[in-house]
Amino acid sequence: MSASYQTIEHDVPQSYRDQILKWNGWGYTDSQFAINKDGHVTFTGDKYDISGKVMPHFRPWFENYLGIDLNYVSPAQKLSDVVIDAPVENEDLIEFLQENNISFSNAAKIRLMRAHGHTVHDMVNLREGKIPRLPDVVVWPKTEQEIVKIIEGAMSHNCAIIPIGGGTSVTNALDTPVTEKRAVISMDMALLDKILWIDRENLTCRAQAGIVGQSLERQLNKKGFTCGHEPDSIEFSTLGGWVSTRASGMKKNKYGNIEDLVVHINFVCPKGIIQKQCQVPRISSGPDIHQVILGSEGTFGVVSEVTIKIFPLPEVKRYGSFVFPNFENGVNFFREVASRRIQPASLRLMDNDQFVMGQALKVASDSWWASLKSSVSKMYITSWKGFKVDEICAATCVYEGSRDEVDQQEDRLNKLAEVFQGVIGGEENGQYGYRLTFAIAYLRDLGMNHGVLGESFETSVPWDKVLSLCRNVKELMRREAKAQGVKHPVLASCRVTQVYDAGACVYFYFGFNARGLSNGLQVYDRIETAARDEIIACGGSISHHHGVGKIRKQWMLTTNGAVGIALLKAIKSELDPANIFANANLIDIIGSPHSKL
């Protein structure tokens, strides 16, 4: 990496982000899908269930399904070749940070590591060395008072601030707007990572906003509790990030989404600190101030501390799975589960494409018995039950509770599944499917190494529109890909991941072989934009939990209406009149250089 400026820094912490995370891909540096010496796909490292295992069926699936040649490599640039522009100079700010003993650095790699999230844009930019604009200096507040101080410093010295938690954003929310002329401070919350107290009586826990999900959960587990919030990004995303994006976890059916878990928030903004006077389960004091903070995506200020609900660790955790003859039966089963309110902690339905992909990702069985079992069950499903291999879909579930509760839940679900011709797929498959989620996040990097561009995006939709939305959006992605010149078959699949009384959350997975296209990223963009238009036309939402960031801003007006947007702007100008929190997420601010309104 080359940078032609002098690094200035003070008291830089040893951060896991700089030490064990990839600089241009997902997750831990030692963990990735790779091709082994026998030409099979394997997973490196030792952190996941599939680490060190071989997936003999994956390569054929990958090559046939997406028309890829794994011998063709589309290498990323090396870190040593990355050229980093000098930061916008602001000597007054640097003096201010030094005088106030605030940890900071403007070192090139430290800025780079905080310049992006994990959209396909972010990854392509990193791989091609084209990050348009980096933050100019990174600061690490150690206390809430330091956050207040840094905001004061930014106001006095004409700077902007972008808070960063785990950096797992998938909306370009962390990208520094290219039009920003002021020095931009990336406020890294990594040192605010402590649990402050656990209240066993009221089952609440107060923690600093920078605590990473897996650390929070591990510490709570040791004391006999869980917070129940388990997004797929839990290994790296933070409590403050969850609040700021209105996150949703895999087990929301039992524990709730982040907005259901939050009891109290401390929020530091240029106007001061927002905090309620009490920490009570519910309050009728006008519109809920927390709702303004939840989902604010770093545009109004900084979440510094949060009190959340906690729960005693469940006596029993059990996995389950079902196989359905087709997606429609699976969705109808989910609808019935929701209307009877018998959903287990987690319930996910994969369409046929994902089911097949999941099978392709199965590791080589190390016992002949395991492989026999799977071929016997394959025959049972296809020959005896008459399921068609190209229509089958599968659901995985997680039951948590007392032994009695779990037994009852499982029994009820097993019986109901039969009504929809569901076949019990067993605990092992359920556990495998659920845990595989964490490793699947690494798949895109393998694809990118071989010319594939891909992303997942999600929506929420009323029950009566789930099937038509899924069908239409998948069809549209295939059609649009052809129209945009994609020569190979595409991955256009979906899964239902969360159920509600009034509807469900649906994830789409889209990927294509961009080899031979000169403008792969633009093609990707056009297809995703068309897909989002289709989602909205089919009655879906702008996002169920990923949020808006910059990539979905264009649908904010349609979503909230002109008066709603005016209200958001009024809140912004009241809390942050000088637009210090200038990451340009959610809405465009009148008067700012990027304003289109």
**Distance from C-alpha of 451 to C-alpha of 427, rounded to nearest angstrom:** 36
Q: Does 507 participate in catalysis according to the annotation?
A: yes
- Using CB under 6 A as the binding rule, whether residue 552 contacts ligand FAD is answered as no
402-461: contacts with ligand FAD (CB under 6 A): 441
| Site track for ligand FAD across 124-163, x = CB under 6 A | --------------------------------------xx
User: How many CB atoms sit inside 10 A of residue 41's CB?
Assistant: 23
In degrees, to the nearest 5, what angle opens at C-alpha 515 toward C-alphas 511 and 518? 105
The identity of residue 480, as a single letter, is E
Among 231, 314, 330, 433, indicate the residue that binds ligand FAD (CB under 6 A): 231
Minimum CB separation of residue 264 from ligand FAD in Å reads 15
- Using CB under 6 A as the binding rule, whether residue 503 contacts ligand FAD is answered as no
Minimum CB separation of residue 61 from ligand FAD in Å reads 21
Nearest partner of 519 among 479, 483, 486, 475, judged by Cα: 486
- Using CB under 6 A as the binding rule, whether residue 172 contacts ligand FAD is answered as no
Catalytic residue of the set 399, 507, 509, 524: 507
Among 131, 269, 274, 302, indicate the residue that binds ligand FAD (CB under 6 A): 302
Phi, psi of 138 (to 5 degrees): -110, 135
Q: Report yes or no: 178 and 132 within 8 Å, Cβ to Cβ.
A: yes
Nearest partner of 50 among 27, 71, 69, judged by Cα: 27
Structure-token match 């995006």, residue found: 457
- Using CB under 6 A as the binding rule, whether residue 306 contacts ligand FAD is answered as no
Structure-token match 């895999």, residue found: 250
Give the CB-nearest residue to ligand FAD: 241
Structure-token pair, residue 109: 């790699």
Span interacting with ligand FAD, options 294-302, 360-368, 428-436, 558-566, rule CB under 6 A: 294-302
Q: Using CA of residue 109, residue 111, residue 113, residue 118, what is the dihedral sign? A: negative
- Using CB under 6 A as the binding rule, whether residue 247 contacts ligand FAD is answered as yes
- Using CB under 6 A as the binding rule, whether residue 167 contacts ligand FAD is answered as yes
Among 248, 321, 431, 484, indicate the residue that binds ligand FAD (CB under 6 A): 248
**Distance from C-alpha of 29 to C-alpha of 261, rounded to nearest angstrom:** 32
- Using CB under 6 A as the binding rule, whether residue 242 contacts ligand FAD is answered as yes
| 8 carries a ligand binding annotation | no
H or E element that contains 152: helix 144-156
**Which of residues 3 and 150 has its CB atom nearest to ligand FAD in the complex?**
150
- Using CB under 6 A as the binding rule, whether residue 270 contacts ligand FAD is answered as no
Minimum CB separation of residue 163 from ligand FAD in Å reads 4
- Using CB under 6 A as the binding rule, whether residue 170 contacts ligand FAD is answered as yes
Question: 492 - beta bridge partners?
Answer: 510
**Percentages of the chain per state (helix, strand, coil), in multiples of 5:** 35, 20, 40
515-544: contacts with ligand FAD (CB under 6 A): none
Burial per residue of 267-299, b for 16 or more beta-carbon CB atoms within 10 angstroms, e otherwise:
bbbbeeebebeeeeeeeeeeeeebebbbbbbbb
The identity of residue 213, as a single letter, is G
569-588: contacts with ligand FAD (CB under 6 A): 583, 585
- Using CB under 6 A as the binding rule, whether residue 338 contacts ligand FAD is answered as no
- Using CB under 6 A as the binding rule, whether residue 31 contacts ligand FAD is answered as no
User: How many CB atoms sit inside 10 A of residue 264's CB?
Assistant: 17
| Residues with catalytic function | 507
Which residues would be at the binding site for ligand FAD (CB under 6 A)?
Answer: 117-118, 162-170, 173-174, 189, 209, 231-233, 237-238, 240-242, 244-245, 247-248, 297-298, 302-303, 441, 545-547, 583, 585
